[in-house]
Amino acid sequence: MNFYEASRFQYAAARLMVKLAQFRREGKFVQNITDGSNFNIVITSHAEGSFDINTEAPEAEASDKKFVNLTLGDMLSYVSERLLQKTDEKDVKSSIQANAQVSSSISVSEGEDEDQLDDILEQLRADPELLGALHSETREVVERRLAEMERQAKLDAAQSEIAKIDAAREQKLISMSAPLVREMAVALRRSAKTLKVVSTAAGKGSSVVYLSQQMASDIEDTKVDREITAVYCDIVQYNKDYGSGKMRLLDRSGVFGFSIPSDLKHSLQSKIVSGLDSEEMYLQTYFVRDKARALKRLIVVGVLPIPVA
């Protein structure tokens, strides 16, 4: 079945069934279905434990028009890097330390370097049984980090094509994708515990999106600005492997987290690292705000020269 047509059917059928259930009880129905007016009509699983939705996109022909020669997995990785908050290395390390009893081979000692942590993550990715033995909270943190690593590998391999996406097109992609990713997160309000998107190419699968209920709640409670905001800031902390850190904005109080999409790390990282020795940088960012429009975190997409007075 065509995925869009099948999904439109599923969406329409779900709205119809809920509204009929509302009418059956109240003799009326509401226009907008909210969490409070959503009857618990469920889909039964084909097998216990999870629902698998498999889609196939046709391979592009040589004669097909292409603006960018990217897979849908690459495209999803691109937008996910700009919309999803990244993990923190301390959270990953402490989570794995808490699971030392699962296997001595995955313990992490205080002060160990990042390479050792990456080796452990690779071991967990290669051994689903060992990954499944972790505590659920730890497994969520690890799965989230593994998805980030997969996205970075995909985007690193597609740098030349990604470079064709200019700032104006990037803004349009974020504007279009952000509300749809928020809609995807709705499934984790009550029904599902995790959502995982796996991209398969040449018979090899890679996880490019992993959402837990907490992550989904964060996505629903925040919104990425559609426009770029230039900010003067002081970088106070930066993790080169994770592409994330903390900054102070010169025009407001407080310290805010920020992340750099992995496909931009190569071009921006040296400038960000240099900025650690400076008290002022001028960055292009997307603001991520909460429901009250207060700034929660930033996504850094460019470094600008500081204007000369």
Helix (H, G, I), strand (E, B) or coil at 220: helix
Instruction: State residue 39's pLDDT score.
Output: 79
Give residue-wise pLDDT tens across range 142-184: 999 999 999 999 999 999 999 999 999 999 999 989 988 888 8
Query: Are residues 96 and 108 in contact, defined by beta-carbon separation less than 8 angstroms?
Result: yes
pLDDT band at 100 (very low <50, low <70, confident <90, very high): low
Residue with the bigger pLDDT between 132 and 111: it is: 132
Question: What value does the mean pLDDT of the chain take?
Answer: 85
Of the candidates 297, 294, 249, 245, the one whose C-alpha atom is nearest the C-alpha of residue 268 is: 245
Instruction: Give the separation between CA 306 and CA 207, rounded to whole angstroms.
Output: 39
Of the candidates 238, 75, 248, 86, the one whose C-alpha atom is nearest the C-alpha of residue 164 is: 75
Instruction: Give the separation between CA 290 and CA 19, rounded to whole angstroms.
Output: 30
Domains (range + CATH), the chain: 1-45 (no CATH), 89-147 (no CATH), 225-304 (2.40.50.140)
Helix (H, G, I), strand (E, B) or coil at 97: helix
Query: Are residues 140 and 98 in contact, defined by beta-carbon separation less than 8 angstroms?
Result: no
